[in-house]
Structure 1
Amino acid sequence: MATDERDVEQKLDENLLAVLPEGGKVMSVTPSGMSDYCNTYRVEVAMPDGSSQVFFQKESAGETGWDLMEAAYKSEITAHEFIPEFLPRPITLGTYKSRPNVHFYLAEFAEMIDDDIPGPEGYMSGLIALHTRSMGKSPNGMFGFPINTRFGNMEQENGWKATWEEFWSEQMRRYLDKEEAGRGVPDAELARLRPLFFEKVIPRYLRPLETGGRSITPALVHGDAWPGNIKYRTDGETVCAFDTCIFWAHNEMDLGVIRNPRYPLGKPYLKEYWKHVPISEPEEDADSRNSLYLLRNQVLLAALYPQDHKLREIFVSNMRFLVDRVQAEEDAAKKVSQLADSLQTQARL
């Protein structure tokens, strides 16, 4: 058990000290500023041999706070099993003895460079490793996760499903419901597009992955691989990923955020990924699937920040693009069919 002999009014809780290194002395506890949804701290501990160890701590109160801490711990510890070199080591999940309504998550602290986005090779290396190492290791061969994780502070429902289309459709319905409930303002265009999105777009671009003799092997996905969650460590070479909200999914789902125009990533990062991971069949649908998975990220951002009306406009525009693309495909197929019928009629005359 560590000790906290600092001359401060509020020292670290006994249950937190119990999981810090034996014989260590707490030297400093400073806000880390890495989260909008809970308190976060950098905890430095001096060791008896003169060295020091640094830890990252999150805390949050109430039942919701426990859910946030549990989601962070179970998501990070599962991802760490597959990519330990890319993820700070999770240590424990607990509740304060002095404040039983406050819960904490503890991990090793990773010193990172805030403003430097890794290039394609470094940025994608963690995702490539996570996907390829975990593929085929879903505990029941299904899509989902044992608990609901969090995108920011938003619950991500991860109930197990046998097919990817079913899992992803249910998640998207819930996210769209949350976005509409949080904004509280109806949108006529969204009301028009939403049923077409579920009736036409999703079956068109996800169903072929699991029909016609094709199948998807579930892989763990990061779930929120935007540049704020993938950074260089202070050596400027080693990449660190964190704040995962993982579940077992189609690996390409993680690539949707890479396409988001709000981040300086895009095609070079996607090309780097495809050097190492085969494109799922049918390959000709890969671009449309990427736009479809981008929509998830856009809807989640709109739900997290309902005061930003532009975010809804962005995802509605992308939904319209996908609906129009499917409609154009159907119109083209109809014309081909009509032409074939006409040629057959002429041949009989």
Structure 2
Amino acid sequence: MATDDRDVDEHLKLDEMLLAALPEGGKVVSVKPSGLSDYCNTYRIEVKLPDGSSQVFFEKEGTGEEGRGCVESAFVSESATYEFVPEHVPRPVTMGVYKSRPDKHFFLAHFVEMIEDDIPRSESYIAAVAALHSRSMGKSPTGKFGFPVNTRFGNLEQDNTWTASWEVYFTRQMSDYLEREDAAHNGEPHEELERLRPLFLEKVLPRYLRPLETNGRSVTPCLIHADLWPGNVKYMNDGETACMYDACAMWGHNEVDLGVFRNPRYPFGKPYLKEYWKRVPISEPEEDVDNRNTLYMLRSQIMLSILYPHDPKLREIFVSNMRLLVERVQEEEATECDRPVAQSHL
């Protein structure tokens, strides 16, 4: 067990259970806030070891049932991603509960120094993402889509019940998110969204998901990060290697992670997508990839509208993209209806 003999108020010293997770014989040198988090507190903990060297750790702590869920999501997600890409993920240590506060939960990992202001260029960013997908492809512990626990996008719980079909799994999640998006806005009427929602669920999702699993095709689950916005991927201090963290992991279709690169909210765009396709093949049918990319972008846009309901722009953004996909499917259907039927000469 480490010790915390800092000259601070007793209530500011580290809890006994957290000290037990730190290196044996270490002495806590400093505890400082680390980064921004809307739902948990985060800290940088420096520990001096008996040999005179130092180690630095990252702690995330949350209170109550919501805090427990966020901490569990962080620990299990980071442990899973670290297994496949340890060079790109901070090494998890443990999760636990404070002895002094049984309602307070914590996640502990090794702290990685990163360059805060720079967004990794496409080659570095994609090297980490593609490595995670490629190394984990086909290694789902059940062979299905899902995850051992329900992970969190912010504090938004993600239903990760193991499911054999990607279409069924993703449709269930999207239906759930749209219900929660409505609840987050207190059922506030939105005529266009009400019109589009059933068309999206009943026409768009089958149109772009079902072909992945029909006519001899299938989706092989891989581990995805599921929250690759720029705040969760930074350069390590070498200015070359990308570090990924704060995942809300699940075993799913690898292309889900690419939705963020299309989102105009973030400074990515086509160079990141092109770099990814150099390393990982496009799923068949290839001709649907652009629309699937829009669909997977829509997932995170809906989730943001749930988390920040007081920003009306977020709702209008995802509604406009939903309209785009609905109209594309309707145009396809109209073309099919207008196509002349071949006459039989028998």
Report the AA paired with residue 314 of structure 1: I
Report the AA paired with residue 136 of structure 1: G
Gaps of 5+ in 2: none
Tell me if 1:82 matches 2:84.
yes
- How many angstroms apart in 1 are the aligned matches of 2:271 and 2:35? 30
- How many angstroms apart in 2 are the aligned matches of 1:181 and 1:199? 21
Deviations 1:131-172 (A, max 9, x none): 111110111111101110000111011011110000000000
Match of 1:236 among 211, 235, 239: 239
Deviating above 3 A after TM superposition, structure 1's stretches of 4 or more consecutive aligned residues are none
SS at match of 2:21: coil
Report the equivalent of 2:141.
139
1:72-111 to structure 2, matched below 5 A, reads 72-111=74-113
Q: CA RMSD in A?
A: 1.1
SS at match of 2:114: coil
1:29-108 to structure 2, matched below 5 A, reads 29-108=31-110
Report the equivalent of 2:3.
3
TM-score (norm 1): 0.96
Report the AA paired with residue 249 of structure 2: I
1:34 Cα deviation after fit: 2.9
1:114 Cα deviation after fit: 1.4
Report the AA paired with residue 44 of structure 2: R
- How many angstroms apart in 2 are the aligned matches of 1:112 and 1:153? 24
- How many angstroms apart in 2 are the aligned matches of 1:64 and 1:201? 33
Report the equivalent of 2:322.
319
Q: How many correspondences in the alignment?
A: 343
1:300-311 to structure 2, matched below 5 A, reads 300-311=303-314
- How many angstroms apart in 1 are the aligned matches of 2:37 and 2:171? 29
TM-score (norm 2): 0.97
Report the equivalent of 2:269.
266
- How many angstroms apart in 2 are the aligned matches of 1:287 and 1:64? 36
User: Conserved in 1, the CA contact under 8 Å of 2:130 and 2:280?
Assistant: yes
1:138-177 to structure 2, matched below 5 A, reads 138-177=140-179
Report the equivalent of 2:224.
221
1:224 Cα deviation after fit: 0.3
User: Conserved in 1, the CA contact under 8 Å of 2:29 and 2:46?
Assistant: yes
Tell me if 1:14 matches 2:16.
yes
Gaps of 5+ in 1: none
1:81 Cα deviation after fit: 0.4
Report the AA paired with residue 162 of structure 2: W
Match of 2:289 among 286, 289, 297: 286
Deviations 1:255-303 (A, max 9, x none): 0111100101010000000001000000000001101111001101111
SS at match of 1:18: helix
1:33 Cα deviation after fit: 2.6
1:237 Cα deviation after fit: 1.2
1:112 Cα deviation after fit: 1.0
